[in-house]
Amino acid sequence: MLRNQDNPDIQDGPNHPSVLIYNGKVIGTEEGADALILQGGRISFAGPAEKLSQTVVDSVEVRLDALGGWLIPGFIDVHVHGGGGYDFMEAGESAYDAITRFHSAHGTTAMLATTLSSSRERKSAVMEAVSVYRQGRMPYAQLLGVHMEGPFLSPKWPGAQNPDFIVEPKPEWISEWNTRYPGLIRMLSLAPERDGALELIRTLTAEGIIAACAHTDASYEEIRLAVENGLRHAAHVFNAMTGLHHRKPGTVGAVLTDPHISAEIICDGHHVHPACISLLADVKRHDNLLLVTDAISAAGLGDGAYKVSGLDVVVKDGIARLEKGGALAGSTLTMIDAFRYMVRTIGLTVGQASRLASFNPAKLLGLEEMTGRLKPGLQGDVLLLSNELELQRVWIRGYEIRRPNESESRQGQ
């Protein structure tokens, strides 16, 4: 099987064979669907194998027995800072290759490059780097754009964001970036209670950018007002925001009760108690709950000392915390582990968990007619899992990705 000489991990388009995967359980299509065909980078068939003519079967170049495993759409992570020893703030092709390669090995086929609070100049460098990277081949998980987390956050809820860079909303920054890189910013997370935030939310909405609340001291009433002005999403719900109290519902109360707010959750068993995850899953039943990793550069590297936004972070037993103060500092989570947590611990079905990890983020980004489902005509972003939910194979745009060894990531920082 021929491969691109510049990158042996992805097959060349002209030489890439069509693939029939059979004897599987195909999620999200008609009952009894057990076969899928990838052809020309897209899904050309997803349904019961008995509906395939012998002529079609004979025309397929590669036939793969799924051995009764699951076929699900590739994961889409709208909140991820890094992995494999690298961070998106490093703003360079080699770093972006390493991050996307690491996460594609764990089932992520598309993502938003998520920033941290930093100087205007450094944010601009990230915007330029992502823009350039997206113009290339993007051989691993696809960068769909930028999720700008910070710096327009609450200084009361910095989490692992560097407080030296947290500032009030600066609409002129967004105007400059939107002019220079139209459509690149897909989401911006901010504290909606800050001066100028509502004006910025209205601007973001007019520009087609998802306005999200994060690291916020907002009251229930302030979140509802922000929704009226265009707020649509809540980053890492329950973390770094005002909690639920029976007389002061806070940000969490507004997220739980307002169907206009989609919610993302970090399901690693550390950030949020499973009872709260179950509560969120119970109330967010309209394609408005997403799984995210919030992964940092340490993902995939094991315990040790790291840096996040210039702050010292220690990872112990897979949990990342600021060395000073002990606050959680992102995660070392992968999407396949978040998916499995929702099935094994929370009790969702494979289909339900798949929707949270694939279709819902695609819908939030307005890409549900491109990816996020196993539907003929859509992009060939497909995962094959064993019956026990172990990841077996990954296809991105119809190309199978070689899953690298963790030893190939950067070792230490």
How high is the mean pLDDT in each 10-residue block of the chain (413 residues)?
36 68 94 94 96 94 96 98 96 96 98 96 97 95 97 95 95 94 98 97 96 98 98 98 97 97 97 98 96 97 91 94 92 98 98 98 97 97 98 96 56 39
Q: Is 245 annotated as a binding residue?
A: no
Q: Is 330 annotated as a binding residue?
A: yes
Residue 310 pLDDT: 85
Q: Is 110 annotated as a binding residue?
A: no
The 3-class secondary structure across 62-117, one letter per residue, is: EEEECCCCEEEECEEEEEECEECCEEHHHCCHHHHHHHHHHHHCCCEEEEEEECCC
Q: Is 240 annotated as a binding residue?
A: yes
294 is catalytic: yes
Measured distance between the N- and C-terminal CA atoms of the chain, rounded to whole angstroms:
36
Q: Is 226 annotated as a binding residue?
A: no
| Cα–Cα distance measured from residue 90 to residue 342, given in angstroms and rounded to the nearest whole number | 32
Write the pLDDT tens digit of every residue in 21-35. Answer: 999 999 988 888 999
Residue 70 pLDDT: 98
* Domain extents in the chain: 13-72+374-403, 75-364
User: Phi and psi (nearest 5°) for 377?
Assistant: 100, -20
Q: Is 260 annotated as a binding residue?
A: no
Q: Is 225 annotated as a binding residue?
A: no
Give which of 103, 75, 105, 147 is closest to 372, Cα–Cα. 75
3-class DSSP assignment, residue 275? helix
Residue 406 pLDDT: 40
- Say which CATH superfamily domain 13-72+374-403 falls into: Urease, subunit C, domain 1 (2.30.40.10)
Token output for 380: 């060939």
Give which of 197, 193, 263, 201 is closest to 231, Cα–Cα. 201
Angle at which helices 120-134 and 171-180 cross, to 10°: 20
Residue 16 pLDDT: 74
Asked whether 72 and 354 are in contact (CB, 8 A), the reply is yes
Asked whether 144 and 186 are in contact (CB, 8 A), the reply is yes
The one-letter amino acid at 261: I
Fold held by 75-364: TIM Barrel (3.20.20)
Residue 350 pLDDT: 98
Q: Are strands 25-26 and 70-73 parallel, antiparallel or unpaired?
A: parallel
| Cα–Cα distance measured from residue 81 to residue 87, given in angstroms and rounded to the nearest whole number | 6
Q: Is the dihedral of CA 1, 15, 359, 70 positive or negative?
A: negative
| Cα–Cα distance measured from residue 51 to residue 60, given in angstroms and rounded to the nearest whole number | 15
Q: Which of 294, 303, 312, 381 is catalytic?
A: 294
Residue 15 pLDDT: 59
Residue 405 pLDDT: 52
Give which of 387, 405, 280 is closest to 340, Cα–Cα. 387
